[in-house]
Amino acid sequence: MVDDQAVRGTSDWMAAIRYLESQRQDAFLVDPWASALAGDYAEVTARLAALGAPSEVVITRGRLGDAVVMAAVAEGVDQVVILAAGSDTRSFRLDLPAQVTLFELDLPGQLAGKLETLRRAGAAHDSRLVVVEADLREDWTAALAAAGFAAHRPAVWLIEGLFYYLDRHAGDSVLKQLSSASARGSWLALDIPHERFLTEPANAPFLEYMAERGSPFVGALPDPVRWLAGNGWQARAYLAEDLVAGDCPLIPPPPARLSNPDHPIWHVVAQRL
């Protein structure tokens, strides 16, 4: 059983990880607003490191997600949808044109505090930001449409750090709803563990910790490309070592420190056929 509050708490972890990365001289991802959301980042990141958490994926998927958004916008896509947006700050840190509408969707009550904190810190955005409160386990596309999303026009979808917490049935439901609202020319970026992540002995302490706090990792796939193809998407999937090898044309190769063989996690980029 996944506890909503426990999953919500992990969004603060993501901000802490992004903030710590942003302080590095060789930062692969720079988030100038993460500090406002990071809380006690030193304690959080130290605990995650001790548990062997796959924190590096927050940075690699973040950089790739940025690139996917900007590539789609360069093609004329003017709708960006971030599912389970949590502590995401792209509406404030990406240079998006004014005609772009960015939809942040998350559970009721999840986003208002974040946005108020960022605005108090001086964050502003040129694009139109729309907050959508909905539960992804229900019919969330109706709420998205009511907020102004146009399913007949292409969109770029970002789903970071969500599928870890969804079993196959729930993951299929999210993908099917998303696909039904995606016009040809839409883009999608997501991350999901390879099945090996859940059986790797080195990950046992972290996985046990996540289960005990009510946010177990239950989602994993051996082949996300096939999964997406079944829903009308043409996809490419990369593990961290593939990114480091330069196999993804959308981003420069990350430094080797952001690749851990014990953490096989798929970074997926797809386009709607």
Q: Which residue has the tokens 């063989």?
A: 261
Within-domain flag for 170: yes
Written as six digits, the tokens of 96 are 């998006």
pTM of the full predicted structure? 0.95
Cα–Cα distances (Å) from 246 to 71, 212, 232, in that order, read: 18, 37, 27
Instruction: Give the count of beta carbons closer than 10 Å to the beta carbon of residue 43.
Output: 10
Mean pLDDT along residues 233-254: 99
Within-domain flag for 37: no
Instruction: Tell me the pLDDT tens digit for each residue of 187-231.
Output: 999 999 999 999 999 999 999 999 999 999 999 999 999 999 999
Instruction: Give the count of beta carbons closer than 10 Å to the beta carbon of residue 249.
Output: 9
In the chain, % of residues over pLDDT 70? 97
CA dist 217 and 214 (Å) reads 10
**Total domain count for the chain?**
1
Q: How confident is the model at residue 11 (pLDDT cuts 50, 70, 90)?
A: confident
Within-domain flag for 107: yes
- Residue 216, pLDDT score: 97
Q: How confident is the model at residue 8 (pLDDT cuts 50, 70, 90)?
A: low
Lowest mean pLDDT among 43-47, 48-52, 175-179, 208-212: 43-47
Within-domain flag for 246: yes
CA dist 69 and 91 (Å) reads 11
Q: 74 is in which domain, residue-wise?
A: 55-203+217-272
Burial of 180 (0-12, 13-18, 19+ CB in 10 A): exposed
Within-domain flag for 42: no
CA dist 27 and 188 (Å) reads 25
Q: How confident is the model at residue 6 (pLDDT cuts 50, 70, 90)?
A: very low
Within-domain flag for 83: yes
pLDDT at 7 over 70: no
Instruction: Tell me the pLDDT tens digit for each residue of 108-136.
Output: 988 999 999 999 999 988 789 999 999 99
pLDDT at 160 over 80: yes
Give CA angle at 89 (207, 181), nearest 5°: 80
With CA atoms as reference, report the closest residue to 260 among 208, 216, 203, 210. Answer: 203
Written as six digits, the tokens of 43 are 């304690």
Which residues of 134-256 form beta strands (DSSP E)? Answer: 156-159, 187-193, 233-238
Within-domain flag for 172: yes
- Residue 40, pLDDT score: 87
Instruction: Tell me the pLDDT tens digit for each residue of 57-107.
Output: 999 999 999 999 999 999 999 999 999 999 999 999 999 999 999 999 999
Instruction: Say which CATH number the domain at 117 has.
Output: 3.40.50.150
Within-domain flag for 256: yes
199 near 167, Cβ under 8 Å? no
Q: How confident is the model at residue 9 (pLDDT cuts 50, 70, 90)?
A: low
